[in-house]
Amino acid sequence: MQIRKAIIPVAGWGTRRLPITKAIEKSMLPVGNRPIVDFAVEDCILAGIKEIIFVITKTGKESQIQSYYEKNTKLEEFLLARGANEKLAKLKTAPEDIHFSYVEQDANDKYGTAVPVALAVKQLGLSESVAFCNGDDFFYGSKDGSEEKNLISALQSADESAMIGVPTSKEDIVKHGLGMIESDQDGFMTNLTEKPELEQITSNLASVNRFILSKDLLTEIVSYVDSNAFTATDQEYMITDPVLDFVRNGGKVRVVPATGQFMDCGSTEGWLRANNIVNN
């Protein structure tokens, strides 16, 4: 089965990483000489995805992500004039056949991981299965070089959805406030518990919000966002809520164990760990 599009949410102010995110978008913080988000983009491209849909913060000006993936004519001319061909080649941040789309999200509107999906579906009229990746984490050292490729390969029909489960100790699931995935003998999700207590943990697979979302599951997510009116002090619009409702109503979400190391760069500790591993 081929998945042609991926949604990568990168909106928000990145307040957990202040003060650096006052000047640099969180997903653009470097791991080596590349921004965090570029590792997720590369993962998608290696899986055969041709369109990357970024959900960006509505600011009235071009985002740093747009600047990174678009041409920089003046810089190209500067390097050409000096014969710096090796450096010129580094400006090609994506293959020419990859298309980038941008959906704006108002930072003062509804908040949570389900919101960018709903926005992308409604604004772009998405009606096919899509990949969903975060913009501030990635997998490193995955089988065949792409965790996304492995996830897509596990799909057995067009109406299936899928999610990655990261093998994680019980203690780390609790420590990092992760969701616990439970599945049946056929590998389909049966339950997802957000931030379980240690005594509740019956599985070693953690959710990191990496999905293949079928057309039916996309519809469920849009309905969830549109039919609720949570305020900022009520709760976030978590993507795992409609995913769990989808499963309880008979939908299929296949659970695929991760093969690579999960790099969560949302915290300073995780970002430093990613740099240490990737650059050594």
* 234 φ/ψ sector (left φ>0, alpha ψ -120 to 50, else beta): alpha
Instruction: Give how far the C-alpha of residue 33 lies from the chain's centroid of Cα atoms, to the nearest Å.
Output: 20
Phi, psi of 236 (to 5 degrees): -80, 155
Phi, psi of 199 (to 5 degrees): -70, -15
Rounded CA separation 13/37 (Å):
15
Residue 229: count of CB within 10 angstroms of its CB: 7
**pLDDT per residue as tens digits for the range 143-198:** 989 999 999 999 998 889 999 999 999 999 998 889 999 999 999 999 999 899 99
Backbone angles phi, psi at 169, to 5 degrees: -65, 155
Q: What is the Cα–Cα distance from 131 to 129, expressed in whole angstroms? A: 7
**Tens digits of residue pLDDT in 114-136:** 999 999 999 999 999 999 999 99
Residues 262-271 have pLDDT tens digits of 999 999 999 9
pLDDT band at 245 (very low <50, low <70, confident <90, very high): very high
215-239 residue pLDDT tens: 999 999 999 999 999 877 788 999 9
The per-residue pLDDT for range 155-166, each reduced to its tens digit, is 998 889 999 999
Q: What is the DSSP string of 43-75?
A: HHHHTT--EEEEEEE--SS--HHHHHHS--HHH
209, with CB counted inside 10 A (0-12, 13-18, 19+), is middle
Does pLDDT of 76 surpass 80? Answer: yes
Distance of CA 61 to the CA centre of its chain: 23
Please, what are the domains in the chain?
5-278 (3.90.550.10)
Cβ(138)–Cβ(43) below 8 Å: yes
pTM of the model: 0.95
End-to-end CA distance of the chain: 35
pLDDT above 90 for 142: yes
Grouping H, G, I as helix, E, B as strand and the rest as coil, residue 188 is: strand
Q: Phi first, then psi: what are they for 56, rounded to 5°?
A: -110, 160
Distance, CA of 122 to CA of 119 (rounded, Å): 5
